[in-house]
Amino acid sequence: MRSGFQINYRHSVGNLHIYLCGEFNGMCAWELIKTIRRQRTDAGRIFVNTADLKQVVSAGAYMFKSHMTRKQLPSDWLYFKGEKGFKIAPDGSRVIISKKNGSPPEPILKALIS
């Protein structure tokens, strides 16, 4: 792809982990949709890591959001990791942000301790 876009994935404990790299445009959005459709398992969640995306083009984000409807995948099974996840994530899905040093935010630590 011209944008230098790469998509890698792996399955772990029944979940699908997808790693995006490069520029996220319309063609890349379509590749992500196809990957999710082909690789997802019925029971697992999907985690999309956006940390290595250089740019999110508005048309790509719109295409992904409009094609990932609740009929295809329950939105609470779709998680985005990283700041750029806010631009791509369809309504109802979740975005996970961690501190710069890699440790989880304090509220998560408190919830795990109590």
User: Over 60: is that where the pLDDT of 99 sits?
Assistant: yes
89-61-34 Cα angle (round to 5): 85
Residue 100, pLDDT score: 67
Q: Does domain 6-113 have CATH number 1.10.10.60?
A: no
Q: Per the structure block, which two tokens stand in for 90?
A: 């369809």
Q: Using one digit for the tens of pLDDT, what is the confidence trace for 80-96?
A: 999 999 999 988 889 99
**Helices 58-67 & 26-39 angle (0-180, nearest 10):** 30
Threshold 0.75, pTM exceeds: yes
Distance CA 76, CA 64 (A): 16
